[in-house]
Amino acid sequence: MFVKSIVIDILNDFTNMKVQQSAVLSPQLAQETVHLGHLLARLRQARKVKQADAALRAGFSRNTAYRLEKGDPGLAIGQVLRYLDAIAPGTTLAALLTQADPALAALQARESTKRVRDLSAAELKDLDF
């Protein structure tokens, strides 16, 4: 009976050792994981890949892809790299961080607002009915 209670206490200690990574990270590191997730999401959107498809290509669930894109610090670096390879095969982590992918530039151009120029007198006359 005594040995059984000791074993139960030890098992409880091991289960309580699980630590939330976000609780032990400094605010700056937590912000960097969120930034990395944001970059992954932007690259996926720029490449026009659905989140579920990227997760399937990487070999994990859509929930894991969601957690990656939200910057969950509890995920392994291998999962980040597999997800990156699923979105943009051959792209390195350095290229992601520098936002060197041409698809990102195209996405930014699509999202940027365009200035509207004034119409010329001839164009205004054409519109007048």
Per-residue pLDDT, 17: 44
Per-residue pLDDT, 31: 92
Residue range 2-127, CATH number: 1.10.260.40
Q: Mean pLDDT: which of 70-74, 115-119, 121-125 is highest? A: 70-74
Which residues does 54 contact at the CB level (< 8 Å), separation at least 6? 44, 65, 83, 86, 87
Q: What amino acid occupies position 31? A: Q
Which residues does 93 contact at the CB level (< 8 Å), separation at least 6? 80, 81, 84
Q: What percent of the chain has pLDDT over 90?
A: 50
pTM: 0.69
pLDDT digits (tens, 9 = 90+) for 71-114: 999 899 999 999 999 999 999 999 999 988 898 888 888 888 66
